[in-house]
């Protein structure tokens, strides 16, 4: 099959969901190190919102989206891990996944096992690989450790709950409603805190006998950062990996000393998966979790690609649980 043009979501200016528009764009032939892939489903992530609003600036006009799954149509010179006809999925540092087909670098595109659906592939790569680097590659976390995970009922959060349960890690989660708390508990969280009705740092101290947690994993940003530091044990690690409520203000390093010689890092997935073989190995370990049944990819919302603005509104209003996919 040879796709020549593809509906693609683009923005010409930064702003609200109304700036998202669909246009038919030409799809060419893959060059060296590239593939052409026809998408079956695309993933929705907060990074897409950050780019749409200009929090993460892009050169305009720009195509959005970082995650999708589909079928490889053609491979360029030098690509050996994929062939035409292969099922594949990816999270990529190259935007442009909100489309029916595209040509892109092949290095971060991963063969998709038969036991994983296209919708699951589109919903799990960016979120699941994020959970992988949080638990495996950022700081040593071992059986019996305790982590605090904000937004535990979201797409990343529900994977994290299951990952922690599978590895014997105590996960204390936060969410904004009793329903979301129940969902996270169902997926493996050890304890949940409704941050709208409880003071989460106080509750964390109660749950840990006053000790605090070993690691905080915080994608919320400005609203939770200071409280998160108060939840850590001395020498604990604060992993700030998102800005759903806005960017974290500048931090006085002296605060880390005063609160117990704390450690702080601000990682991104795309640094962790930049090297081809590392990305492929991480994906294989993620697929193994899913194929074993230890991690189930929960997709609670589906929108047509043409309804992408509606999907963005739902995500920003915190009306979503689990993962959201755009169907092509």
pLDDT at 160 over 90: yes
% of residues, the chain, pLDDT over 90: 90
User: What CATH number is given to the structural domain containing 194?
Assistant: 3.40.50.720
Whether 291 is covered by a domain: the verdict is yes
User: Average model confidence (pLDDT) for the chain?
Assistant: 95
What are the pLDDT digits (tens) for 187-212?
999 999 999 999 999 999 999 999 99
- Say yes or no: 171 and 223 in one domain: yes
Specify the pTM: 0.93
pLDDT at 106: 98
Say whether pLDDT at 176 is over 70.
yes
DSSP state of 18: G
Structural domain of 220: 139-266
Kindly report the backbone phi and psi dihedral angles of residue 171, in degrees, each rounded to the nearest multiple of 5, phi listed first: -110, 120
Q: Are residues 11 and 105 in the same domain?
A: yes
Which one of 245, 266, 287 terminates a domain?
A: 266
Query: Beta strand pairing status for 323-327 and 299-304?
Result: parallel
Tally DSSP H helices, then E strands, for the chain: 10, 16
pLDDT tens sequence across 79-124: 999 999 999 999 999 999 999 999 999 999 999 999 999 999 999 9
Query: Residue 95 belongs to a domain with what CATH number?
Result: 3.90.180.10
Provide the angle, in degrees to the nearest 10, between the axes of the packed helices 276-291 and 155-166: 70
Helices within 133-262 (DSSP H only): 155-166, 178-186, 200-207, 225-229, 253-258
For residues 160 and 131, the answer to whether their CB atoms sit within 8 Å is yes
- Judge if 260 and 189 occupy the same domain: yes
Question: Do 147 and 197 fall within a single domain?
Answer: yes
Do 144 and 262 fall into the same domain? yes
Q: What is the pLDDT of residue 244?
A: 77
- Domain count of the fold of the chain: 2
pLDDT of residue 1: 64
- State whether 178 and 163 are in the same domain: yes
Q: Please give the span between the terminal C-alpha atoms of the chain, in angstroms, as a whole number.
A: 16
Residues 205 and 254 in one domain: yes
Q: How far is CA 34 from the centre of its chain?
A: 24
């Amino acid at each position: 099959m040879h796709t020549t043009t593809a509906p693609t979501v683009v923005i010409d200016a930064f702003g609200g969901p109304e700036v998202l528009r669909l246009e038919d764009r030409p799809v060419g032939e893959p060059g060296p190190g590239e593939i052409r892939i026809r998408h079956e489903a695309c993933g929705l992530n907060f990074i897409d919102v950050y780019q749409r609003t200009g929090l993460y600036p892009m050169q305009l006009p720009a195509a959005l989206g970082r995650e999708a799954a589909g079928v490889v149509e053609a491979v360029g010179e030098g690509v050996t891990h994929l062939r035409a006809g292969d099922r594949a999925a990816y999270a990529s540092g190259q935007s442009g996944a909100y489309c029916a087909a595209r040509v892109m670098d092949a290095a971060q595109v991963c063969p998709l096992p038969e036991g994983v659906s296209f919708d699951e592939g589109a919903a799990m790569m960016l979120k699941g690989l994020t959970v992988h680097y949080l638990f495996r590659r950022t700081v040593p976390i071992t059986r019996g450790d305790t982590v605090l995970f904000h937004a535990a009922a979201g797409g990343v959060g529900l994977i994290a709950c299951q990952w922690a349960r599978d590895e014997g890690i105590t996960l204390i989660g936060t969410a904004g409603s009793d329903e979301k708390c129940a969902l996270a508990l169902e997926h493996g969280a050890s304890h949940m805190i409704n941050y709208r009705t409880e003071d989460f740092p106080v509750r964390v101290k109660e749950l840990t006998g006053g000790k605090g947690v070993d690691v905080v994993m915080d994608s919320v940003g400005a609203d939770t950062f200071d409280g998160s530091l108060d939840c850590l044990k001395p020498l604990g690690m604060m992993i700030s990996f998102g800005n759903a409520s806005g960017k974290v203000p500048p931090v006085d390093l002296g605060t880390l000393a005063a609160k117990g010689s704390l450690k702080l890092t601000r990682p991104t997935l795309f640094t962790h998966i930049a090297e081809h073989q590392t990305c492929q190995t991480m994906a294989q370990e993620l697929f193994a979790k899913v194929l074993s049944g230890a991690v189930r990819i929960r997709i609670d919302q589906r929108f047509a690609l043409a309804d992408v603005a509606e999907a963005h509104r739902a995500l920003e209003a915190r009306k979503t649980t689990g993962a959201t996919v755009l169907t092509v």
